[in-house]
Amino acid sequence: MKMIKTKEPMLIEGPEGDENYYVLPTGVTLYYDKSFPEGHDRYIVYFNHKGVIAHEEVPMKPEYKGNFVSPLWMSNVDADALKKMFKRFPLSKEDVAAAIKANGITKDDLADIIRSMPD
C-alpha cells in the first residue's frame, strides 16, 4: 500500500455536515486507498486507542455488499478555509496574542505582517 507522510496540518470536515473542522497533525502517515473519477483520492489513517470508545454499532445492510466506508473530507489549510473558520469562531486579542507567542513570532515579524496588510 502506498504511504505518504503529511508535511503540514490538514483540515478534516466534521461528519454529516456538522460544520466543525478538526485538525490532522503534521507527520501523520496516510495510506493510499483509491482514486475516484471525480478527481479526489481516499486515504486510510490508523489510530491506536486505550480504553472504551463511546459508540453505536453500524448495522451491515445488504446495500453495503459487505463493505461500508463512510469517509470524511480532508483539505489543506488555505486562506479561504481560515477565513471561513474565523467567521464562525472569531479570535479575541488574547487568542491572537497566544497564537503569536506560541509560534515564536517576533515583534519585527508582527510589524512586517501589519505593514503588508491593506489599509
Pair (14, 72) in one structural domain: yes
Residues facing 39 on adjacent strands: none
What is the pTM for the complete model shown? 0.66
Residue 78, domain extent: 1-48+67-88
Beta-bridge partner residues of 71: none
> pLDDT tens across 19-40, in order?
788 889 999 999 999 999 999 9
What are the pLDDT digits (tens) for 85-107? 777 777 788 888 888 888 888 98
Q: 97 and 82: one domain?
A: no
Q: How many Cβ atoms are within 10 Å of 30's Cβ, its own excluded?
A: 19
Q: How many domains does the chain have?
A: 2
Is residue 35 in some structural domain?
A: yes
Q: Are 44 and 58 in contact (CB under 8 A)?
A: no
Q: Specify whether 26 is located in the same domain as 73.
A: yes
